[in-house]
Structure 1
């Protein structure tokens, strides 16, 4: 069961970089769900960087326990695939955050990046709020929070994407195509570059200049050298002719997504 990211959480600080916030329904062992905050919302390793900092903050009045895991992230068959990894590790993997305090979790890279790696490596850090085993069980159920934070290890000689100025992206390395089915838009994207592309604020721009929003906020990522597909329900008839547009990474405005078939 999932809910929209509430405005009070860290992940709402930047709509273009929002992370997924999932509320997991579990047996209630405490009453502090929703008090755990995580920052930053994206982690990026330079090619020689061996560790990165993730901060967990407890805004409640009871201690919060959390588990931190790292999984490798790839895209196969036009969908996200997560797998166990030892390339990045969380230290500590289990943490207690006292009320009003914040605790540091180090995301550590034990081995240097091999010289043969030409593409950016992608991971997800999962922060799961744990039920409090020693508290009395209340009569109802509660939500426990789960955060998913994208982590990227830059390839050799690549520029950091989270620190550069917000300039228009070169859209040519993102190869897209789309087709319309009954009430559905199918968007396929291939990233020919060596770093990720983040899509947000997807819309349809008719040739007369009108824009129909299709997916406000974050649509998702196309990882370096990989393929992704989205199937989006259409609630209205789109005016033709026209084209898709989206914000790419931190570009200040939406850019056309040029279809290979156009």
Structure 2
């Protein structure tokens, strides 16, 4: 999922909180990690604007299949309160809690969506009111060692589109940012900042620009340089023109 995209049907702007965008609602922390011994965590919602607003919190199980994101409503986690009024310059605490005590034998991933809603007494000035939706990644870790991501990269064409695929056979998600591809002496920046996640045991694909002609002879060695979970990594890229 990109850092920002428009949803014309719902009139919503979606923000990944790990990228910086100016908005009235400020959320801390921008990602949530729960160990097997933790039953929950507190989030703080702050309204830095001059008008009151409501924040609606919803939780989805987060999976990846066929290189894309899948989100499914879940009751594994509960947010309290699910809808919270926040006055101008004020703050609201939201508690994110496990619905059950048993921990999973593997890492579990979720997305917390927080909708910024206008206050009830707000007068609509047009037939479409745009609002903000914030996306917070949530990870529940199993007992014991967290493990590590183990990523494998490839560049290929599919239905006339160039895709950068990252499969993660490790036991921990890979948070991928600042990606550059290098081959045949040519360095091509792919994305600055957060590109996205390859979840544990899953594969994620991102559409990219067509590679330079010097890469397409089949003899060029390709490498990807990226920041993965805060560490700079260089790894080979399988190229399938």
Structure 1 CA distance for aligned equivalents of residues 71 and 132 of structure 2: 19
Matched, 1:187 2:174: no
Aligned to 1:87: 76
Residue of structure 2 aligned with 1:135, choices 94, 98, 122: 122
2:121 maps to 1:144: no
Deviation per residue, 1:86-117 (Å, 9 max, x gap)? 11111000000111111110110121234xx3
Shift in Å, 1:159: 4.2
The alpha-carbon distance between structure 1 residues 192 and 139, as it changes in their structure 2 partners (threshold 3 A), is closer
Which residue of structure 2 aligns with residue 222 of structure 1? Answer: 198
- After TM superposition, list the pairs within 5 Å mapping 1:162-177 onto structure 2: 173-177=150-154
Can you list the C-alpha shifts for 1:191-211, whole angstroms capped at 9, x where unaligned? 111110111122111253x42
Shift of 1:156: 1.7
Q: Which residue of 2 aligns with 1:18?
A: 19
Q: TM-score, normalised by structure 2?
A: 0.81
Does the alignment pair 1:125 with 2:112? yes
| Structure 1 unaligned residues grouped into runs of 5+ | 12-16, 22-32, 161-169
Please say if residues 16 and 134 of structure 2, whose CA atoms lie closer than 8 Å, have aligned partners that are also in contact: no
Partner of 2:10: none
Gaps of 5+ in 2: 8-12
User: Is the CA contact (8 Å cut-off) linking 1:75 and 1:223 kept in structure 2?
Assistant: yes
State the partner residue of 1:29: none
Name 2:235's counterpart in structure 1. Answer: 256
Q: TM-score, normalised by structure 1?
A: 0.75
Give deviations 1:24-53, integer Å, cap 9, x for gaps. xxxxxxxxx931111211100011100111
1:18–1:41 contact (8 Å) kept in structure 2: no
- CA distance in 2 between counterparts of 1:191 and 1:239 reads 28
Are 2:44 and 1:64 equivalent residues in the alignment?
no
Match of 1:48 in 2: 37
4+ aligned runs moved over 6 Å, structure 1 = none
Larger deviation: 98-107 or 175-184? Answer: 175-184
Alignment coverage as a number of residue pairs: 225
